[in-house]
Structure 1
Protein backbone atom coordinates (compact mmCIF):
# COMPACT_ATOMS: atom_id res chain seq x y z
CA UNK A 1 0.00 0.00 0.00
CA UNK A 2 1.29 3.44 -0.94
CA UNK A 3 1.90 6.44 1.27
CA UNK A 4 -1.16 8.17 2.79
CA UNK A 5 -1.26 11.93 3.31
CA UNK A 6 -3.51 13.14 6.13
CA UNK A 7 -4.64 16.78 6.07
CA UNK A 8 -6.29 18.34 9.10
CA UNK A 9 -3.93 16.13 11.07
CA UNK A 10 -4.17 18.09 14.32
CA UNK A 11 -7.99 18.17 14.34
CA UNK A 12 -10.42 16.02 16.31
CA UNK A 13 -10.66 13.43 13.54
CA UNK A 14 -7.28 13.83 11.85
CA UNK A 15 -5.21 13.07 14.93
CA UNK A 16 -7.07 9.77 15.36
CA UNK A 17 -6.61 8.94 11.68
CA UNK A 18 -2.86 9.50 12.12
CA UNK A 19 -2.62 7.38 15.27
CA UNK A 20 -4.70 4.51 13.87
CA UNK A 21 -2.72 4.39 10.63
CA UNK A 22 0.57 4.56 12.53
CA UNK A 23 -0.48 1.78 14.91
CA UNK A 24 -1.23 -0.37 11.85
CA UNK A 25 2.33 0.19 10.65
CA UNK A 26 1.27 2.02 7.49
CA UNK A 27 3.27 4.66 5.62
CA UNK A 28 1.58 7.91 6.65
CA UNK A 29 2.51 11.57 6.35
CA UNK A 30 0.89 14.36 8.37
CA UNK A 31 0.19 17.73 6.71
CA UNK A 32 0.18 20.42 9.42
CA UNK A 33 0.37 24.18 9.82
CA UNK A 34 2.46 23.83 12.99
CA UNK A 35 5.74 21.96 12.46
CA UNK A 36 5.89 21.29 16.21
CA UNK A 37 2.73 19.18 16.16
CA UNK A 38 4.71 16.26 17.58
CA UNK A 39 3.33 13.35 15.57
CA UNK A 40 5.20 10.00 15.61
CA UNK A 41 5.08 10.00 11.80
CA UNK A 42 6.62 11.99 8.97
CA UNK A 43 5.33 15.55 9.14
CA UNK A 44 5.24 18.20 6.41
CA UNK A 45 4.40 21.82 7.14
CA UNK A 46 1.83 23.48 4.92
CA UNK A 47 -1.56 25.07 4.63
CA UNK A 48 -4.38 24.17 2.24
CA UNK A 49 -5.19 27.84 1.87
CA UNK A 50 -1.70 28.21 0.36
CA UNK A 51 -1.83 25.53 -2.36
CA UNK A 52 1.83 25.76 -3.32
CA UNK A 53 2.70 24.26 0.09
CA UNK A 54 0.67 21.15 -0.73
CA UNK A 55 2.65 19.90 -3.72
CA UNK A 56 5.83 18.90 -1.78
CA UNK A 57 3.66 17.00 0.72
CA UNK A 58 2.18 14.90 -2.11
CA UNK A 59 5.50 13.37 -3.21
CA UNK A 60 5.07 9.57 -3.52
CA UNK A 61 1.55 9.79 -2.05
CA UNK A 62 -1.10 7.37 -3.28
CA UNK A 63 -4.10 8.32 -1.10
CA UNK A 64 -5.19 11.51 0.64
CA UNK A 65 -7.48 12.03 3.62
CA UNK A 66 -8.89 15.48 2.91
CA UNK A 67 -10.49 17.82 5.39
CA UNK A 68 -11.27 21.19 3.86
CA UNK A 69 -10.67 24.10 6.28
CA UNK A 70 -13.20 26.87 6.72
CA UNK A 71 -16.74 27.41 5.51
CA UNK A 72 -16.12 28.78 2.03
CA UNK A 73 -14.77 27.23 -1.15
CA UNK A 74 -11.79 29.54 -1.41
CA UNK A 75 -9.11 27.86 -3.53
CA UNK A 76 -10.58 24.36 -3.23
CA UNK A 77 -10.51 23.87 -7.01
CA UNK A 78 -6.76 24.46 -7.09
CA UNK A 79 -6.20 22.12 -4.15
CA UNK A 80 -8.24 19.31 -5.71
CA UNK A 81 -6.41 19.75 -9.02
CA UNK A 82 -3.04 19.56 -7.25
CA UNK A 83 -4.06 16.37 -5.42
CA UNK A 84 -5.27 14.82 -8.69
CA UNK A 85 -1.91 15.52 -10.33
CA UNK A 86 -0.09 13.39 -7.75
CA UNK A 87 -2.40 10.97 -5.93
CA UNK A 88 -4.77 8.24 -7.11
CA UNK A 89 -7.59 8.54 -4.59
CA UNK A 90 -9.05 10.77 -1.93
CA UNK A 91 -11.23 10.14 1.11
CA UNK A 92 -13.00 13.42 1.79
CA UNK A 93 -14.50 14.28 5.18
CA UNK A 94 -17.67 16.00 4.04
CA UNK A 95 -20.82 16.48 6.15
CA UNK A 96 -24.44 15.38 6.31
CA UNK A 97 -26.22 18.72 6.29
CA UNK A 98 -29.96 19.44 6.52
CA UNK A 99 -31.83 19.87 3.24
CA UNK A 100 -31.81 23.46 2.07
CA UNK A 101 -28.79 24.51 4.12
CA UNK A 102 -26.15 26.34 2.10
CA UNK A 103 -22.96 24.35 2.23
CA UNK A 104 -19.49 24.30 0.73
CA UNK A 105 -19.12 20.61 1.53
CA UNK A 106 -21.07 19.40 -1.47
CA UNK A 107 -19.30 21.89 -3.73
CA UNK A 108 -15.97 20.31 -2.77
CA UNK A 109 -17.53 16.90 -3.46
CA UNK A 110 -18.48 18.13 -6.93
CA UNK A 111 -14.92 19.26 -7.63
CA UNK A 112 -13.57 15.88 -6.54
CA UNK A 113 -16.09 13.96 -8.66
CA UNK A 114 -14.85 15.77 -11.75
CA UNK A 115 -11.14 15.53 -10.90
CA UNK A 116 -10.37 12.04 -12.18
CA UNK A 117 -9.48 10.85 -8.67
CA UNK A 118 -10.92 7.73 -7.13
CA UNK A 119 -13.02 9.03 -4.27
CA UNK A 120 -15.03 8.16 -1.17
CA UNK A 121 -17.10 10.73 0.73
CA UNK A 122 -17.73 10.47 4.48
CA UNK A 123 -20.75 12.46 5.62
CA UNK A 124 -20.96 12.52 9.42
CA UNK A 125 -23.84 14.33 11.06
CA UNK A 126 -23.46 16.04 14.43
CA UNK A 127 -20.20 15.48 16.29
CA UNK A 128 -20.22 14.71 20.00
CA UNK A 129 -17.18 16.97 20.25
CA UNK A 130 -19.37 20.00 19.48
CA UNK A 131 -20.74 19.75 23.03
CA UNK A 132 -17.31 20.75 24.34
CA UNK A 133 -18.57 24.28 23.73
CA UNK A 134 -20.80 23.77 26.75
CA UNK A 135 -17.92 22.95 29.12
CA UNK A 136 -17.90 26.20 31.09
CA UNK A 137 -21.68 26.23 31.36
CA UNK A 138 -21.69 22.60 32.50
CA UNK A 139 -19.31 23.63 35.28
CA UNK A 140 -21.78 26.38 36.20
CA UNK A 141 -24.68 23.94 36.13
CA UNK A 142 -26.86 25.43 33.35
CA UNK A 143 -26.66 25.29 29.56
CA UNK A 144 -28.89 28.03 28.14
CA UNK A 145 -29.55 27.72 24.40
CA UNK A 146 -32.57 27.46 22.08
CA UNK A 147 -34.17 24.25 20.81
CA UNK A 148 -33.42 21.88 23.67
CA UNK A 149 -35.62 19.24 22.02
CA UNK A 150 -33.49 19.17 18.86
CA UNK A 151 -32.53 15.52 18.46
CA UNK A 152 -29.39 14.10 16.82
CA UNK A 153 -27.39 10.85 17.01
CA UNK A 154 -24.03 12.47 17.75
CA UNK A 155 -20.92 10.59 16.61
CA UNK A 156 -17.62 10.02 18.39
CA UNK A 157 -14.67 11.38 16.42
CA UNK A 158 -12.88 8.05 16.95
CA UNK A 159 -15.59 6.33 14.90
CA UNK A 160 -15.25 8.82 12.04
CA UNK A 161 -11.50 8.24 12.06
CA UNK A 162 -11.90 4.46 12.20
CA UNK A 163 -14.18 4.52 9.16
CA UNK A 164 -11.72 6.77 7.31
CA UNK A 165 -8.86 4.37 8.08
CA UNK A 166 -10.95 1.38 6.97
CA UNK A 167 -11.81 3.07 3.70
CA UNK A 168 -8.23 4.20 3.11
CA UNK A 169 -6.84 0.72 3.68
CA UNK A 170 -9.39 -1.59 2.04
CA UNK A 171 -10.89 -2.07 -1.41
CA UNK A 172 -14.43 -1.61 -2.63
CA UNK A 173 -15.13 1.96 -1.56
CA UNK A 174 -14.52 3.95 -4.74
CA UNK A 175 -17.54 6.07 -5.61
CA UNK A 176 -19.21 5.43 -2.24
CA UNK A 177 -20.83 8.05 -0.01
CA UNK A 178 -21.19 6.98 3.63
CA UNK A 179 -23.54 8.81 6.00
CA UNK A 180 -22.19 8.37 9.54
CA UNK A 181 -23.83 8.83 12.92
CA UNK A 182 -23.79 7.64 16.48
CA UNK A 183 -26.12 4.81 17.51
CA UNK A 184 -28.76 6.78 19.44
CA UNK A 185 -30.83 9.92 19.12
CA UNK A 186 -30.58 12.28 22.08
CA UNK A 187 -32.04 15.74 22.43
CA UNK A 188 -29.73 18.58 23.38
CA UNK A 189 -31.32 18.63 26.84
CA UNK A 190 -30.67 14.89 27.21
CA UNK A 191 -27.04 15.39 26.16
CA UNK A 192 -26.59 17.91 28.98
CA UNK A 193 -28.13 15.44 31.43
CA UNK A 194 -25.78 12.64 30.32
CA UNK A 195 -22.72 14.90 30.62
CA UNK A 196 -23.78 15.86 34.15
CA UNK A 197 -24.30 12.23 35.15
CA UNK A 198 -20.92 11.11 33.84
CA UNK A 199 -18.86 13.96 35.30
CA UNK A 200 -20.80 14.09 38.57
CA UNK A 201 -22.28 17.56 38.23
CA UNK A 202 -25.85 18.75 38.49
CA UNK A 203 -26.34 20.15 35.00
CA UNK A 204 -29.61 21.15 33.35
CA UNK A 205 -30.89 22.71 30.15
CA UNK A 206 -32.55 26.13 30.15
CA UNK A 207 -34.49 27.09 27.05
CA UNK A 208 -33.36 30.36 25.46
CA UNK A 209 -35.55 32.42 23.09
CA UNK A 210 -34.21 32.13 19.53
CA UNK A 211 -34.16 35.91 19.16
CA UNK A 212 -31.81 36.24 22.12
CA UNK A 213 -29.63 33.42 20.79
CA UNK A 214 -29.47 35.15 17.40
CA UNK A 215 -28.01 38.29 18.98
CA UNK A 216 -25.40 36.30 20.91
CA UNK A 217 -24.40 34.25 17.87
CA UNK A 218 -24.08 37.35 15.73
CA UNK A 219 -21.73 38.85 18.30
CA UNK A 220 -19.64 35.67 18.23
CA UNK A 221 -19.79 34.56 14.58
CA UNK A 222 -20.49 37.84 12.81
CA UNK A 223 -21.99 36.21 9.70
CA UNK A 224 -25.79 36.53 9.41
CA UNK A 225 -26.04 33.71 6.85
CA UNK A 226 -24.16 31.27 9.10
CA UNK A 227 -26.22 32.28 12.15
CA UNK A 228 -29.54 31.88 10.33
CA UNK A 229 -28.46 28.56 8.86
CA UNK A 230 -27.52 27.24 12.31
CA UNK A 231 -30.77 28.38 13.94
CA UNK A 232 -32.81 26.95 11.08
CA UNK A 233 -31.01 23.62 11.33
CA UNK A 234 -31.48 23.38 15.12
CA UNK A 235 -35.16 24.20 14.81
CA UNK A 236 -35.50 21.57 12.11
CA UNK A 237 -34.04 18.88 14.36
CA UNK A 238 -36.93 19.44 16.78
CA UNK A 239 -39.60 18.46 14.26
CA UNK A 240 -37.40 16.29 12.00
CA UNK A 241 -34.77 14.60 14.16
CA UNK A 242 -31.57 13.56 12.46
CA UNK A 243 -31.79 9.81 11.85
CA UNK A 244 -29.23 7.30 13.11
CA UNK A 245 -27.49 5.10 10.54
CA UNK A 246 -25.86 1.69 10.92
CA UNK A 247 -22.95 2.59 8.64
CA UNK A 248 -20.30 2.36 11.37
CA UNK A 249 -21.48 -1.11 12.34
CA UNK A 250 -21.64 -2.30 8.73
CA UNK A 251 -18.16 -1.06 7.88
CA UNK A 252 -16.33 -1.80 11.12
CA UNK A 253 -18.22 -4.87 12.35
CA UNK A 254 -18.99 -3.28 15.73
CA UNK A 255 -21.55 -0.80 17.06
CA UNK A 256 -20.81 2.90 16.96
CA UNK A 257 -19.68 4.36 20.27
CA UNK A 258 -22.44 5.92 22.36
CA UNK A 259 -22.57 9.54 23.50
CA UNK A 260 -22.05 8.36 27.08
CA UNK A 261 -18.84 6.60 26.00
CA UNK A 262 -17.70 9.80 24.33
CA UNK A 263 -18.35 11.80 27.52
CA UNK A 264 -16.31 9.28 29.53
CA UNK A 265 -13.42 9.82 27.11
CA UNK A 266 -13.69 13.61 27.57
CA UNK A 267 -14.86 13.87 31.18
CA UNK A 268 -11.80 15.88 32.20
CA UNK A 269 -12.78 18.60 29.72
CA UNK A 270 -16.02 19.23 31.63
CA UNK A 271 -14.60 19.20 35.16
Structure 2
Protein backbone atom coordinates (compact mmCIF):
# COMPACT_ATOMS: atom_id res chain seq x y z
CA UNK A 1 0.00 0.00 0.00
CA UNK A 2 1.32 3.42 -0.92
CA UNK A 3 0.40 5.98 1.71
CA UNK A 4 0.40 9.65 0.79
CA UNK A 5 1.03 12.90 2.63
CA UNK A 6 -1.30 14.30 5.25
CA UNK A 7 -4.95 13.37 4.76
CA UNK A 8 -7.74 15.58 6.12
CA UNK A 9 -10.89 13.61 7.00
CA UNK A 10 -14.16 15.51 7.33
CA UNK A 11 -17.06 13.92 9.21
CA UNK A 12 -14.38 12.09 11.17
CA UNK A 13 -16.64 11.00 14.04
CA UNK A 14 -19.61 9.98 11.86
CA UNK A 15 -20.80 6.63 10.56
CA UNK A 16 -18.37 6.51 7.64
CA UNK A 17 -15.66 8.89 8.80
CA UNK A 18 -14.73 7.06 11.99
CA UNK A 19 -14.04 3.90 9.97
CA UNK A 20 -12.03 5.90 7.44
CA UNK A 21 -9.89 7.37 10.23
CA UNK A 22 -9.34 3.94 11.78
CA UNK A 23 -8.47 2.37 8.43
CA UNK A 24 -6.04 5.13 7.54
CA UNK A 25 -4.26 4.82 10.86
CA UNK A 26 -3.99 1.06 10.39
CA UNK A 27 -2.42 1.79 6.99
CA UNK A 28 0.10 4.10 8.63
CA UNK A 29 -1.27 7.28 7.06
CA UNK A 30 -0.77 10.77 8.48
CA UNK A 31 -4.35 11.73 9.46
CA UNK A 32 -5.87 15.04 10.46
CA UNK A 33 -9.52 14.90 11.57
CA UNK A 34 -11.88 17.86 11.20
CA UNK A 35 -14.50 17.91 13.97
CA UNK A 36 -16.82 20.52 15.41
CA UNK A 37 -15.81 19.87 19.02
CA UNK A 38 -12.24 18.57 19.36
CA UNK A 39 -12.59 17.98 23.11
CA UNK A 40 -15.43 15.51 22.48
CA UNK A 41 -13.70 13.54 19.70
CA UNK A 42 -12.78 9.95 20.55
CA UNK A 43 -10.36 9.04 17.77
CA UNK A 44 -7.40 6.64 17.52
CA UNK A 45 -4.04 7.57 18.95
CA UNK A 46 -1.87 9.48 16.53
CA UNK A 47 -4.73 11.33 14.82
CA UNK A 48 -4.33 15.11 14.70
CA UNK A 49 -7.68 16.69 15.65
CA UNK A 50 -8.64 20.20 14.52
CA UNK A 51 -11.82 22.18 15.06
CA UNK A 52 -13.93 23.49 12.21
CA UNK A 53 -17.33 23.47 10.57
CA UNK A 54 -18.07 22.81 6.89
CA UNK A 55 -20.90 25.34 7.08
CA UNK A 56 -18.19 28.02 7.50
CA UNK A 57 -15.68 27.00 4.77
CA UNK A 58 -14.03 30.42 4.75
CA UNK A 59 -12.57 29.54 8.16
CA UNK A 60 -10.98 26.22 7.20
CA UNK A 61 -7.63 27.27 5.76
CA UNK A 62 -5.98 26.30 9.07
CA UNK A 63 -7.36 22.77 8.73
CA UNK A 64 -6.21 22.48 5.10
CA UNK A 65 -2.70 23.81 5.66
CA UNK A 66 -0.15 21.15 4.72
CA UNK A 67 -2.79 18.68 3.50
CA UNK A 68 -2.15 16.51 0.44
CA UNK A 69 -5.57 14.84 0.18
CA UNK A 70 -9.07 15.74 1.39
CA UNK A 71 -11.73 13.17 2.24
CA UNK A 72 -15.01 15.03 1.87
CA UNK A 73 -18.33 14.12 3.42
CA UNK A 74 -20.73 17.00 2.75
CA UNK A 75 -23.34 17.01 5.56
CA UNK A 76 -25.73 19.71 4.36
CA UNK A 77 -28.89 19.36 2.25
CA UNK A 78 -27.82 22.21 -0.05
CA UNK A 79 -24.52 22.79 -1.85
CA UNK A 80 -24.24 26.33 -0.49
CA UNK A 81 -20.71 26.76 0.82
CA UNK A 82 -19.29 23.78 -1.06
CA UNK A 83 -17.70 25.87 -3.85
CA UNK A 84 -15.84 27.96 -1.24
CA UNK A 85 -14.59 24.82 0.49
CA UNK A 86 -13.43 23.26 -2.78
CA UNK A 87 -11.69 26.49 -3.75
CA UNK A 88 -9.91 26.52 -0.38
CA UNK A 89 -8.95 22.87 -0.82
CA UNK A 90 -7.44 23.61 -4.23
CA UNK A 91 -5.11 26.14 -2.63
CA UNK A 92 -3.58 23.48 -0.41
CA UNK A 93 -4.37 19.91 -1.46
CA UNK A 94 -3.57 17.87 -4.53
CA UNK A 95 -6.54 15.55 -4.60
CA UNK A 96 -9.97 14.89 -3.12
CA UNK A 97 -12.05 11.78 -2.45
CA UNK A 98 -15.71 12.77 -2.25
CA UNK A 99 -18.63 10.69 -0.91
CA UNK A 100 -21.33 11.48 -3.45
CA UNK A 101 -24.71 9.85 -4.13
CA UNK A 102 -26.54 8.16 -7.00
CA UNK A 103 -25.42 10.72 -9.57
CA UNK A 104 -26.09 9.92 -13.23
CA UNK A 105 -23.70 11.15 -15.89
CA UNK A 106 -26.62 11.22 -18.32
CA UNK A 107 -29.05 13.16 -16.12
CA UNK A 108 -29.44 16.92 -16.14
CA UNK A 109 -27.91 19.05 -13.41
CA UNK A 110 -31.22 19.50 -11.55
CA UNK A 111 -31.82 15.73 -11.46
CA UNK A 112 -28.45 15.19 -9.77
CA UNK A 113 -29.15 17.69 -7.01
CA UNK A 114 -26.63 18.70 -4.38
CA UNK A 115 -24.25 15.85 -5.13
CA UNK A 116 -24.09 16.54 -8.85
CA UNK A 117 -23.33 20.19 -8.24
CA UNK A 118 -20.50 19.35 -5.86
CA UNK A 119 -19.08 16.80 -8.30
CA UNK A 120 -19.03 19.46 -11.02
CA UNK A 121 -17.31 21.95 -8.72
CA UNK A 122 -14.65 19.38 -7.85
CA UNK A 123 -14.10 18.37 -11.47
CA UNK A 124 -13.58 22.02 -12.43
CA UNK A 125 -11.24 22.77 -9.50
CA UNK A 126 -8.03 21.33 -10.94
CA UNK A 127 -7.80 18.81 -8.11
CA UNK A 128 -7.32 15.12 -8.80
CA UNK A 129 -10.52 13.39 -7.70
CA UNK A 130 -12.32 10.15 -6.94
CA UNK A 131 -16.11 9.99 -6.48
CA UNK A 132 -17.72 7.38 -4.24
CA UNK A 133 -21.33 7.27 -5.44
CA UNK A 134 -23.32 5.79 -2.58
CA UNK A 135 -26.91 5.00 -3.50
CA UNK A 136 -28.08 4.51 0.07
CA UNK A 137 -26.41 3.85 3.41
CA UNK A 138 -27.70 1.07 5.61
CA UNK A 139 -27.03 3.44 8.52
CA UNK A 140 -29.91 5.63 7.34
CA UNK A 141 -32.28 3.02 8.77
CA UNK A 142 -31.15 4.18 12.22
CA UNK A 143 -33.85 6.80 11.67
CA UNK A 144 -36.32 4.06 12.60
CA UNK A 145 -34.63 3.32 15.93
CA UNK A 146 -36.98 5.34 18.13
CA UNK A 147 -40.03 3.61 16.67
CA UNK A 148 -38.48 0.18 17.07
CA UNK A 149 -37.58 0.90 20.69
CA UNK A 150 -41.10 2.18 21.38
CA UNK A 151 -43.19 -0.78 20.26
CA UNK A 152 -41.34 -2.76 17.59
CA UNK A 153 -43.26 -1.18 14.72
CA UNK A 154 -41.87 1.00 11.92
CA UNK A 155 -44.53 3.32 10.55
CA UNK A 156 -43.24 4.60 7.25
CA UNK A 157 -44.05 4.87 3.56
CA UNK A 158 -43.20 2.69 0.54
CA UNK A 159 -42.46 -0.57 2.31
CA UNK A 160 -42.15 -2.26 -1.10
CA UNK A 161 -39.32 0.06 -2.21
CA UNK A 162 -36.34 -2.09 -3.18
CA UNK A 163 -32.97 -0.84 -1.95
CA UNK A 164 -29.39 -2.12 -2.19
CA UNK A 165 -28.11 -0.39 0.95
CA UNK A 166 -24.37 -0.44 1.61
CA UNK A 167 -22.63 -0.94 4.94
CA UNK A 168 -20.68 2.16 5.99
CA UNK A 169 -17.62 -0.01 6.61
CA UNK A 170 -17.59 -0.97 2.93
CA UNK A 171 -17.69 2.68 1.90
CA UNK A 172 -14.83 3.34 4.31
CA UNK A 173 -12.80 0.40 2.99
CA UNK A 174 -13.05 1.74 -0.56
CA UNK A 175 -12.28 5.27 0.66
CA UNK A 176 -9.11 4.18 2.47
CA UNK A 177 -7.77 2.54 -0.67
CA UNK A 178 -8.69 5.55 -2.82
CA UNK A 179 -6.92 7.81 -0.32
CA UNK A 180 -3.74 5.77 -0.03
CA UNK A 181 -3.19 4.00 -3.37
CA UNK A 182 -2.51 5.04 -6.94
CA UNK A 183 -4.93 4.07 -9.69
CA UNK A 184 -8.14 5.66 -8.39
CA UNK A 185 -7.90 9.15 -9.89
CA UNK A 186 -10.90 9.92 -12.08
CA UNK A 187 -12.84 6.88 -10.85
CA UNK A 188 -16.57 7.05 -10.15
CA UNK A 189 -17.31 4.06 -7.94
CA UNK A 190 -20.97 3.14 -7.50
CA UNK A 191 -21.14 1.53 -4.05
CA UNK A 192 -24.05 -0.68 -3.01
CA UNK A 193 -24.77 -3.70 -0.91
CA UNK A 194 -24.81 -7.16 -2.52
CA UNK A 195 -28.59 -7.55 -2.77
CA UNK A 196 -31.90 -5.73 -3.08
CA UNK A 197 -34.24 -5.77 -0.09
CA UNK A 198 -37.51 -3.95 0.35
CA UNK A 199 -37.79 -1.55 3.25
CA UNK A 200 -40.21 -3.96 4.91
CA UNK A 201 -37.64 -6.76 4.56
CA UNK A 202 -34.98 -4.54 6.15
CA UNK A 203 -37.24 -4.06 9.16
CA UNK A 204 -37.74 -7.82 9.46
CA UNK A 205 -33.97 -8.39 9.44
CA UNK A 206 -33.47 -5.77 12.14
CA UNK A 207 -35.96 -7.74 14.21
CA UNK A 208 -34.05 -10.97 13.60
CA UNK A 209 -30.86 -9.26 14.79
CA UNK A 210 -32.71 -8.16 17.93
CA UNK A 211 -34.21 -11.59 18.53
CA UNK A 212 -37.77 -10.29 18.50
CA UNK A 213 -40.35 -9.43 15.84
CA UNK A 214 -40.22 -5.97 14.31
CA UNK A 215 -43.00 -5.20 11.86
CA UNK A 216 -43.68 -2.70 9.11
CA UNK A 217 -46.84 -0.58 9.10
CA UNK A 218 -47.52 1.31 5.89
CA UNK A 219 -48.68 4.90 6.45
CA UNK A 220 -49.73 7.62 3.99
CA UNK A 221 -47.01 9.62 2.30
CA UNK A 222 -48.07 12.86 3.96
CA UNK A 223 -47.56 11.35 7.42
CA UNK A 224 -44.02 10.29 6.58
CA UNK A 225 -43.34 13.63 4.92
CA UNK A 226 -44.31 15.56 8.05
CA UNK A 227 -42.08 13.45 10.29
CA UNK A 228 -39.17 13.47 7.85
CA UNK A 229 -39.47 17.23 7.37
CA UNK A 230 -39.30 17.71 11.13
CA UNK A 231 -35.96 15.85 11.09
CA UNK A 232 -34.26 17.62 8.17
CA UNK A 233 -36.07 20.97 7.88
CA UNK A 234 -35.93 21.18 4.08
CA UNK A 235 -39.27 20.67 2.23
CA UNK A 236 -37.71 20.24 -1.22
CA UNK A 237 -35.25 17.62 0.04
CA UNK A 238 -38.03 15.75 1.86
CA UNK A 239 -40.21 15.62 -1.26
CA UNK A 240 -37.29 14.51 -3.42
CA UNK A 241 -36.45 11.70 -1.00
CA UNK A 242 -40.07 10.52 -0.94
CA UNK A 243 -40.22 10.62 -4.73
CA UNK A 244 -37.05 8.52 -4.87
CA UNK A 245 -38.43 5.90 -2.46
CA UNK A 246 -41.69 5.80 -4.39
CA UNK A 247 -39.81 5.20 -7.64
CA UNK A 248 -37.99 2.24 -6.09
CA UNK A 249 -41.24 0.30 -5.71
CA UNK A 250 -41.34 -0.39 -9.46
CA UNK A 251 -37.64 0.25 -10.17
CA UNK A 252 -35.46 -1.03 -7.33
CA UNK A 253 -31.95 0.30 -6.86
CA UNK A 254 -29.31 -1.54 -8.89
CA UNK A 255 -26.64 -3.75 -7.35
CA UNK A 256 -23.00 -2.91 -8.05
CA UNK A 257 -19.93 -5.12 -7.65
CA UNK A 258 -17.59 -2.16 -7.10
CA UNK A 259 -16.95 -2.87 -3.40
CA UNK A 260 -15.58 -6.32 -4.17
CA UNK A 261 -13.71 -5.15 -7.27
CA UNK A 262 -11.88 -2.42 -5.34
CA UNK A 263 -11.35 -4.10 -1.98
CA UNK A 264 -11.16 -7.78 -2.89
CA UNK A 265 -13.86 -8.74 -0.37
CA UNK A 266 -17.62 -9.12 -0.99
CA UNK A 267 -19.87 -6.28 0.09
CA UNK A 268 -21.37 -6.87 3.52
CA UNK A 269 -25.06 -7.81 3.61
CA UNK A 270 -27.81 -5.88 5.35
CA UNK A 271 -28.17 -8.84 7.71
CA UNK A 272 -24.54 -8.29 8.76
CA UNK A 273 -25.17 -4.57 9.17
CA UNK A 274 -28.21 -5.23 11.37
CA UNK A 275 -26.18 -7.58 13.57
CA UNK A 276 -23.42 -4.97 13.87
CA UNK A 277 -25.95 -2.32 14.92
CA UNK A 278 -28.47 -4.31 16.97
CA UNK A 279 -27.46 -2.35 20.07
CA UNK A 280 -28.59 0.88 18.36
CA UNK A 281 -32.18 -0.41 18.22
CA UNK A 282 -32.43 -1.77 21.75
CA UNK A 283 -34.10 0.23 24.55
CA UNK A 284 -31.83 2.87 26.05
CA UNK A 285 -30.75 2.68 29.70
CA UNK A 286 -33.03 4.85 31.85
CA UNK A 287 -30.61 7.77 32.31
CA UNK A 288 -29.61 7.76 28.65
CA UNK A 289 -33.25 7.59 27.55
CA UNK A 290 -34.07 10.64 29.68
CA UNK A 291 -31.22 12.58 28.12
CA UNK A 292 -32.30 11.46 24.64
CA UNK A 293 -35.84 12.70 25.32
CA UNK A 294 -34.57 16.07 26.55
CA UNK A 295 -32.40 16.46 23.40
CA UNK A 296 -35.32 15.56 21.13
CA UNK A 297 -37.49 18.23 22.74
CA UNK A 298 -35.05 21.05 21.99
Same structural fold, with TM-score higher than 0.5 when normalized by the shorter chain: yes
Instruction: Extract unaligned runs of 5+ from structure 2.
Output: 283-298
Contact 1:144–1:208 (CA under 8 A) maintained in structure 2: yes
Structure 2 CA distance for aligned equivalents of residues 30 and 15 of structure 1: 9
User: How much does 1:224 deviate?
Assistant: 2.6
**What is the CA distance between 1:97 and its match in structure 2?**
5.2
Contact 1:126 1:152 in 2 (8 A): yes
Distance 1:101 1:142 in 2: 33
1:23 is displaced (CA, Å) by 1.5
Show the counterpart of 1:51. 57
Partners of 1:260 and 1:97 lie apart in 2 by: 26
Query: What does residue 289 of structure 2 align with?
Result: none
Residue among 131, 136, 139 paired with 2:146:
136
Structure 1 equivalent of residue 37 of structure 2: 34
1:18 to 18, 21, 24: 21
* 1:14-163 matches, cutoff 5 A: 14-36=17-39, 37-39=41-43, 40=45, 41-96=47-102, 101=111, 103-139=113-149, 140-163=151-174
Q: TM-score, normalized by length of structure 2?
A: 0.87
Counterpart in 1 of 2:238? 227
Matched, 1:211 2:222: yes
Q: Give the structure-1-normalised TM-score.
A: 0.95
1:84-124 Cα offsets, whole Å, 9 max, x none, are 11110000111115867462111011111111100011111
Q: State the Cα deviation string for residues 3-22 of structure 1 (Å, max 9, x = none).
A: 11111111111111001101
Assess if the C-alpha contact under 8 Å between 1:153 and 1:182 holds in 2: yes
RMSD between superposed Cα atoms in Å = 1.6
Change in Cα spacing, 1:102 to 1:229, as seen in structure 2 (3 Å) is farther
Runs of 5+ unmatched residues, structure 1? none
Q: Please, which of 159, 182, 189 is the counterpart of residue 200 of structure 2?
A: 189
